[in-house]
Structure 1
């Protein structure tokens, strides 16, 4: 049995939770890292709901906490999101908005983990339908829009939680508009009350996903005012954010609101059914002492008590078999908001949407936050591989043969991380088999050896600093070396090229072919990038043999 959150918490993922020489001059994060900052009249933009005022940092216009929906608290709880009310005057958009209420992050209790991730947990509130925009020039041009969806599964995280999410450098480097978004999570976004509340709560199981659709509708209506092209929108996300990208590709209400998609360490191809989501709701109601005919009482339950009930319900739910990732909270195949998913192949709804799909080599990195595990023996590693991933002795032997000089902890890391890798390959292949828009597959392998004695490896979230060109905002995780900056240039330029043209190839990388019916080429992002045909096919096969 694998509880994805528990496994990754052990590795520090609490809250799951151009050519190389062409990189721009690096600047650290925070206001202190800017060479120049102002709030001039030019930083006032008129949206469809009213005017907002942002700031200008080193030539990039930044707007934070812009409302795209009404408050979701009180009587609006669990209901589909609504556009914000119009306002008069100029609204300040200078700081991040509220994050959806959620469990307190346990990762702070581990010094190494907190050091690597360097979280910013912000403040919580149900008035959380807010987004952030970085633009090289509002009202001018028609730049690609890159719409970022945060990770943390479906129960944690925010648009500001990691320093790598900051869109300033990506906007500058790629001449793109970057948007990031908060939305409802956990019981606030995915509590299925359809069995008890009738039509009123008929879409409550997917309210958090409907928030993202509303945010994309906001982009369609307002992108041009910020210098973006509403006809060239790329949705991209990591971990739970990648799963949300996959879901949006199967949602009728999202069709036409985006034109490219990137799934990073989030190829979760199965979505829960109503039997499970309704069972979870029953347990939540029981924990709150609310009967079937008393749903109106839910609007008066404090956010803290709803979170507590959701966590208690999570622990009571049946556990999945070994080797299967379990997110607990998540969307539901309700036949309306999400009528289908990836289980039977790539969704026809988004057949014309090209994709980049991939994962990190060491999604599970056990000695990050627990240095003693770096020296584990072969027997201990074998035992952990069986307990966590259900790996047989024969499967271990295949992974060991593929990595003959690796420490046992490294073999264990790659083996367990196949739970992310295998579905990423499957997703890219399903997209390729559709025969419409192409899919490109990658694996991020880079280990910043100067940090924590090389134990950081290509951990879950490692690629974020690179695809956002934020190596220097993420010094704790990258080391800020010239080698890391060069790699960031290659990765970020691939993401930008894809957003601009639908093809990630650029002159700073080896030629990167798309996945086809006969080939599964992988871009391996490392100090030296290379394209390799299905580099771990034997290992993945061994886990399911």
Structure 2
């Protein structure tokens, strides 16, 4: 059977499966589902044949444990409604319903049979470590459940200063884990999944974590976090890498800068525990004291307590070498966040100065421009700007992670998303992986080719969750990433395998040291 016919068959079969779930299962005729979790009973709803439990509490109000490890919630006996999303972490962005009481997750499942043993796909949202929530319509798990007979979970957790303000050197040993409190929230959520998956028709022994941008970086960090060991069994990161974590000295410098913006010095640092949430959010706008650009950075800290080593330096953390992993990026990452008139219709004289702060590595821009013009003589200054900043800044960490995993023969599959209209910027793969191209705001749109791409990508992620490999019949044989071949799936229409795509760009930036942005 031809690859094109396979893809068409895949789409038709997925549509038929959705119809069976919606009308043939009888779920739509049942009363609202109730599940007794390890913390207490919750009542969800059934929509499109899928059981939905939104805003399920997995942790206690973090105002009670500000800047410290999360606590399990007090148990309840009354059945609580799980029909609306829970609060998001406090943040500077316009995310609805923000609160320190933010440890909630959402579950979509085709059925509640205790012996169904469906794969569980747990998604960590992007927004760096600073913003976002698991409540976006783009992350709705209905379509994945219908397509793959899986359980889908999305998670809210503490962000920015609430989750990653490192206070151990300022407030003492009680705050030794403060720089990774947000990561410990994710660990608590994964423990909830382990303890409750079967109650929602899932298999606690087949948990896959996947995430985009900051969500992928959170996963990379968990892969080197001992308390997360054994809580997930496969992983997929989309445009999100964490080669190194912040060091304790830089993290302390950032804490001091943040506290100074709140009007607090070392002698009064303890007052941060009692400030209102709104004041802590307002303080997030201070300049970063380490980086020459942007607001103060918060992210995981190598604190020798929660995180005893860097995630992918000097090598792959031994605890995660057995975990099957997809590592992916989009071809035009930086077109999503380097936008504005200063980047449009660039001439060659403008290009040098714009590259210096935006490549995020210390390399002579004239050398970069000359090499790109040699490689791509037909490209404009604007096109080279986006190609170089993507290769140096967004793609480089993914290459390093894949290479380090290949060195120790771990099961790793790499993709590059080329499909776009006409570009494939950062976040473009989210609605494709969730099969949510029809959702308002989905960048790929909902045309036939976008739906085909969504079928290809979502089936690959489902396959990894189910079998530990991303292989399925509608894709070319997706070879594991090895050195020196660097096998990569190019998600385009049609998809294809390439060895070392953009290899000359990779070699150019491999000539200078890489420093993880933020560390």
State the TM-score, normalizing by the size of structure 1.
0.85
How far is 1:230 from its partner?
Answer: 0.5
1:104 counterpart residue number: 93
1:339 aligns with 2:308: yes
Give 2:235's aligned residue. 261
Q: Which residue of 1 aligns with 2:128?
A: 153
Residue 322 of structure 2 is aligned to residue 352 of structure 1: yes
Could you give the per-residue CA deviations for residues 215-235 of structure 1, whole angstroms, max 9, x where no partner exists? 000000000000110100111
| Cα distance in 1, alignment partners of residues 405 and 54 from structure 2 | 35
Task: Tell me the secondary structure at the aligned position of residue 169 of structure 2.
Answer: helix
Matched, 1:317 2:289: yes
Question: Which residue matches 2:102?
Answer: 128
For the 8 Å contact 2:288–2:296, the answer to whether it is kept is no
Query: Quick check: 1:213 aligned with 2:213?
Result: no
Runs of 5+ unmatched residues, structure 2:
1-5, 17-25, 512-519
Q: Is the 8 A contact 2:56 2:105 kept in 1?
A: yes
Give the secondary structure class of the aligned counterpart of 1:41: coil
Please state how far the C-alpha of 1:440 moved relative to its aligned partner: 0.7
Distance 1:175 1:472, change over 3 A: same
Q: Corresponding residue for 1:89? A: 78
SS at match of 1:477: coil
> Shift of the alpha carbon at 1:195?
1.3
- The CA deviation at 1:543 is 3.0
Flag the 1:56–1:214 CA change in 2: closer, same or farther, 3 A: same
Unmatched runs of 5 consecutive residues or more in structure 1: 1-17, 27-35, 106-120, 449-453
**Cα 1:183/1:367, change in 2 over 3 Å:** closer
Match of 1:364 in 2: 334
| Structure 1 contact 253–337 (Cα < 8 Å) conserved | yes
State the alpha-carbon separation in 1 of the partners of residues 419 and 264 from structure 2. 50
Is the 1:484–1:527 contact (alpha carbons within 8 Å) kept by the matching residues of 2? no
Quick one: which of 69, 83, 88 aligns to 2:59? 69
1:543 correspondence with 2:516: no
How far residue 377 of structure 1 moved from its aligned partner, in angstroms, is 3.2
For the structure 1 residues 367 and 265, does the alpha-carbon distance in structure 2 shift closer, same or farther, using more than 3 Å as the test?
closer
Q: Secondary structure at the match of 2:438?
A: coil
The residue aligned with 2:249 is 275
Find the partner of 1:406 among 369, 379, 392. Answer: 379
Cα deviations by residue, 1:180-206 (Å, 9 ceiling, x for unpaired) = 001001110111111122222121111
Q: Which moved more, 1:195-204 or 1:500-509?
A: 195-204
**C-alpha displacement at 1:264, in angstroms?**
1.0
Over 3 Å counting, the alpha-carbon distance change for 1:289 and 1:172 in structure 2 is same
Quick one: which of 297, 321, 341 aligns to 1:328? 297
Q: 1:372 to 1:329 in 2, by over 3 A?
A: closer
The answer to whether the Cα contact below 8 Å between 1:100 and 1:128 also exists between their aligned partners in 2 is yes
- Tell me the residue number matched to 2:514: none
Deviation at residue 373 of structure 1 after TM alignment:
4.6
Q: Output the aligned Cα RMSD.
A: 2.4
Q: Which residue of 1 aligns with 2:481?
A: 515
Map of 1:299 onto structure 2 = 273
Shift of 1:371: 7.1
CA change 1:365–1:37 in 2 (3 A) is farther
Residue 528 of structure 1 corresponds to: 494
CA 1:300–1:366 in 2, change beyond 3 Å: closer, same or farther?
closer
The answer as to whether partners of 2:254 and 2:296 remain within 8 angstroms in 1 is: no
Q: Please give the alpha-carbon distance, in whole angstroms, between the structure 2 residues aligned to 1:136 and 1:296.
A: 48
2:354 corresponds to: 384
Q: Distance in 2 between matches of 1:187 and 1:42?
A: 38
RCO comparison, higher one (Cα < 8 Å, 6+): 1
Aligned to 1:396: 369
Any idea what the Cα deviations from partners look like across 1:377-436, whole Å, max 9, x if unmatched?
Answer: 34434542344225522322332343343343222212111121121111011112122x
| Displacement after TM superposition at 1:173 (Å) | 0.6
Aligned to 1:222: 196
1:150/1:181 contact within 8 Å kept: yes
Q: Deviations over 1:462-521 (max 9, x none)?
A: 000101111111455122110110011001111011111111111111111111233201
Segment of structure 1 superposing worse, 293-302 or 519-528: 293-302
Deviation at 1:365, TM superposition (A): 1.0
1:368–1:240 Cα change, 3 Å:
closer
**SS of residue paired to 1:364:** helix
Partner of 2:439, secondary structure, is: coil
Tell which deviates more after alignment, 235-244 or 369-378: 369-378
How far apart, CA to CA, are the structure 2 residues paired with 1:197 and 1:149? 30
Secondary structure of 2:291's partner? coil
- After TM superposition, the score normalised by the length of structure 2 is 0.89
Q: C-alpha distance in 1, partners of 2:180/2:27?
A: 40
Answer yes or no: is the 8 Å Cα contact 1:68–1:131 preserved in 2: yes
Q: In the alignment, does 2:156 pair up with 1:186?
A: no
Contact persistence 1:366–1:409 (CA under 8 A): no
